[in-house]
Amino acid sequence: MSRVGEVIPERSFIINRALLKAYADASGDQNPIHQSEDFAKSVGLPDVICHGMLTMALAGKFLTDFVGGSRNVTSFSSRFVKPVVVPADTEVALLISGVVGSDLGDGRYQIDLTAMCNGVKVLGMAKAVASLNS
Amino acid sequence: MLNPESVGRTFPGVDEVRVTQEEITEFARVIGESSFDVAPPTFAIRLTLSQSQAILSDPSVGLDWSRVVHGDQKFELHRPIVAGDIFRCASTIENYKVAAGNEIVTIRTDVLSGDELVVETWSTLVVRA
């Protein structure tokens, strides 16, 4: 039975400065726009911003929970359309939801993801190809 | 500005990197993943982004990395990355354009284990005007 149209319920992921530091260490991306308010402002940003790749990685966690693990994902892509601003001593909620899009055959489906922060869409065209157990 | 002659150029990536269980576990934990047998789908960025930075900010290519923001990202995963994998990353500058004063460059990196293509990544980076 096709699973096209199945909605993946929204979940909230909390982003704060400590998470940005932990992601910087885990990913090796130590760009100071993700850690230093002074530096971020010096290059014209409103404040420290979240790594686009951290937002995408959290969307990936949402995805792999739904599809039954990282091994089932064969393609994953996203645009970074709006920065997620992370002020000091603040917890920012990233809301991720999804829907099963087209049936690609052999149990593989396109999954379309939505990521919102403070009412603004932060990822664009976020989508993956994954195998789903029918 | 990026040297236009570098578009289409491939950088074979001579250094081999070995993926450790500690790296996979740390990356997974940060995003709340409690299964550590294979790497999360975006883990390859740990291997490819620093190489892209090194290539694009080399004086012969000339990108100003200090003004770079990430425009988009794509992964094609031919199999999961696991601890013990030894990779070489080969990067190609696939596309370059200037729009509204912003430089937009797409770099593809092939993550290779010997001759096996394990992951392909495409990173579009925007140098803000």
**Is residue B74 in a domain?**
yes
For residue B57, the model assigns a pLDDT of 87
pLDDT band at A110 (very low <50, low <70, confident <90, very high): very high
Which residues does A contribute to its contact with B (CB < 8 Å)? 13, 19, 22-23, 25-29, 43-44, 51-54, 56-58, 60-61, 63-64, 69-71, 73-80, 83, 124-125, 128
> Is residue A68, in this structure, part of any structural domain at all?
yes
Residue B1 resides in a domain? no
Residues of A with Cβ-Cβ distance to B26 under 8 angstroms: 25-26
* pLDDT tens column, A7-45: 999 999 999 999 999 999 999 999 999 999 999 999 889
* Structural domain boundaries enclosing A106: 7-15+51-131
- Is residue A46 assigned to a domain? no
Taking CA–CA distances from A34, the nearest residue in chain B reads B69
Give the range of the structural domain holding residue B110, as residue numbers without chain letter.
8-127
Q: Which residues pair with B109 in a beta bridge?
A: B91, B121
The verdict on residue A29 lying in a domain is: no
Report how far apart the first and last C-alpha atoms of chain B are (Å, whole number): 10
Alpha helices in chain A (DSSP H): 17-27, 37-42, 52-67
Q: What is the reported pTM?
A: 0.96
**Total domains present in chain B:** 1
Task: Flag whether pLDDT at B128 surpasses 90.
Answer: no
Chain B CB contacts of A46 under 8 Å are: none
pLDDT for the residue numbered B84: 98
Q: CATH code at B102?
A: 3.10.129.10
**Is A109 inside a domain boundary?**
yes
The number of domains in chain A is: 1
What CATH number should be reported for the domain holding residue A68? Answer: 3.10.129.10
| Averaged pLDDT, A40-59 | 95
Percent of chain A with pLDDT over 70: 99
Give the pLDDT of residue A134.
55
For chain B, what is the mean pLDDT?
Answer: 93
